[in-house]
Amino acid sequence: MEWSVPVNSMLKDEVNKLNYTLIPEGFKGDVREVRLMQECLSKLIDGLGEQSADAQGLNKVITTAEKLRNTATHVLYLLKDANAKDGSGDVIGMLKVGRKHLFLFDEHDQVCEVEPLCVLDFYVKRDRQRHGYGRLLFDHMLADNETSPFEIAIDGPSPKMEQFLARNYGVDRLLHQNNNFAVAPQFFQHTNELRSSLCSTPAVSAAVGRFAAPKPASAIANILQGE
Ligand SMILES: CC(C)(COP(=O)(O)OP(=O)(O)OC[C@H]1O[C@@H](n2cnc3c(N)ncnc32)[C@H](O)[C@@H]1OP(=O)(O)O)[C@@H](O)C(=O)NCCC(=O)NCCS
């Protein structure tokens, strides 16, 4: 017989923050209960991850419970409808964020080395979309991280995401980068401090001695591709 823990018993709040521990804030229980809860939560996260990939036409799933457990820097926000499923609750959306080391180009093709908070995955269940749930999740994440839509990078924004940002936050266009990330043009105003300390076009000096030997493929090219 398969056991399942009601969503309302696992997740206490409307928006719940999860990290690699896979233990929601405020959850109480013994070892057996924690394991059972993690098993049920993992199934929910895997299901949402698959639906999100499907909705975005991706051939690989971005969000799984296992990936979350293995990436200490990622945070997953889960949105709950406490009244769904006859009052036992259901998870209706998710938003995954994390910091990434990126080289981004501004509108004047100036490169900038930054480590912004990135939206890595974002999904609201198909029959719940366009009811303001995405906004609710996104607002929570912004407040939690004390940031704004102009200071974050989006990994592979979908057309719906672009419309979502324009409609809800006035981000009327995004600068798409070669590494699949995109940022608002205003992003670079917000990174002024980083710009002065981190941004510069690397000076190229003439190679001498052993440094003049042929080099393997450039590591920066890999970084620019988001590797
Ligand atoms: C992007 C997404 C998370 C937004 O969540 P949401 O709950 O629908 O968003 P909200 O209700 O808070 O905001 C609604 C706005 O988002 C945009 N939007 C949402 N669904 C849309 C759709 N099917 N077609 C076009 N725009 C859509 C619109 O701008 C909409 O405003 P409008 O209804 O006045 O035109 C959701 O549409 C989704 O899961 N899409 C599929 C997965 C995806 O593309 N994820 C983004 C990855 S970067």
Asked if residue 190 belongs to a domain, the reply is yes
76 closest CA partner among 114, 51, 111, 41:
41
CA distance 133 to 114: 30
> Could you report the per-residue pLDDT of 29-45, keeping only the tens digit for each?
999 999 999 999 999 99
Buried b (16+ CB within 10 A) or exposed e, 63-77: bbbebbbeeeebbbb
Asked if residue 93 belongs to a domain, the reply is yes
Q: Is the CB of 118 under 6 A from ligand 1?
A: no
> Could you report the per-residue pLDDT of 204-216, keeping only the tens digit for each?
333 333 333 444 4
Asked if residue 138 belongs to a domain, the reply is yes
Q: Is the CB of 169 under 6 A from ligand 1?
A: no
Average pLDDT, integer, range 152-164: 98
Say what the pLDDT of residue 210 is.
39
Say what the pLDDT of residue 26 is.
87
Q: Is the CB of 132 under 6 A from ligand 1?
A: yes
Average pLDDT, integer, range 11-25: 96
Asked if residue 92 belongs to a domain, the reply is yes
- Asked if residue 53 has pLDDT above 90, the reply is yes
Q: How far is the CA of 202 from the centre of ligand 1 (A)?
A: 40
Which tops the pLDDT comparison, 222 or 206?
Answer: 222
Asked if residue 95 belongs to a domain, the reply is yes
Say what the pLDDT of residue 194 is.
52
- Asked if residue 199 has pLDDT above 60, the reply is no
Asked if residue 209 belongs to a domain, the reply is no
Average pLDDT, integer, range 70-83: 98
CA distance 46 to 64: 5
Asked if residue 36 belongs to a domain, the reply is yes
Q: How far is the CA of 88 from the centre of ligand 1 (A)?
A: 26
Average pLDDT, integer, range 87-93: 97
- Asked if residue 135 has pLDDT above 60, the reply is yes
135: domain CATH number? Answer: 3.40.630.30
Q: How many domains does the chain have?
A: 1
CA distance 74 to 223: 19
Asked if residue 109 belongs to a domain, the reply is yes
Residue 67 binned pLDDT confidence (cut-offs 50, 70, 90): very high
Q: How far is the CA of 215 from the centre of ligand 1 (A)?
A: 46
- Percent pLDDT > 90 in the chain is 80
Residue 190 binned pLDDT confidence (cut-offs 50, 70, 90): confident
- Is 32 labelled as part of a ligand binding site? no
For 119, residues 6+ apart whose C-beta sits below 8 A from its C-beta are: 95, 96, 97, 152, 153, 154, 155, 157, 161
Average pLDDT, integer, range 100-110: 95
- Asked if residue 197 has pLDDT above 60, the reply is no
Q: Average per-residue pLDDT in the chain?
A: 87
Say what the pLDDT of residue 4 is.
83
Question: Considering the entire predicted model, what is its pTM?
Answer: 0.87
Q: How far is the CA of 95 from the centre of ligand 1 (A)?
A: 13
Domain that holds residue 51: 7-201+216-224
Residue found under tokens 């299901």: 47
Residue found under tokens 């098993």: 39
